[in-house]
Amino acid sequence: MAEIMEREALDSRGEVLGKEHPDTLTSAYCSAYMFHQKRQYHNGSLLYERARAGYEKTLGLNHPTTLWCSNHYSAMLNEMEAELS
């Protein structure tokens, strides 16, 4: 149920605000984090990458939100690697 609601929020914000609006990117980031916590790494990876790239473009490389998103994405990639070992 939460996944459906997250997807609907992301889609709605993307349509209304635009795909690179910070609120739309935050929806992608929150969805990525949810998938990350559920160990659904493929879905999380796609959304983290979308959010990270968007934040870098709109907020800049050194913005705190960009850095947090990048750090969470890196942590998920490390978890994925550890599980494969």
Q: What is the pLDDT of residue 77?
A: 97
Residue 49 neighbours by CB distance under 10 Å: 14
Q: Mean of the pLDDT values across residues 6-19? A: 79
**CATH number of the domain that residue 30 is part of:** 1.25.40.10
What pTM, to 2 d.p., does this model score?
0.87
- Domain encompassing residue 19: 2-84
> How many distinct structural domains can be found in the chain?
1
Q: Looking at the predicted structure, is the pLDDT value of residue 38 above 80? A: yes
Do residues 72 and 33 make contact, with C-beta atoms less than 8 angstroms apart?
yes
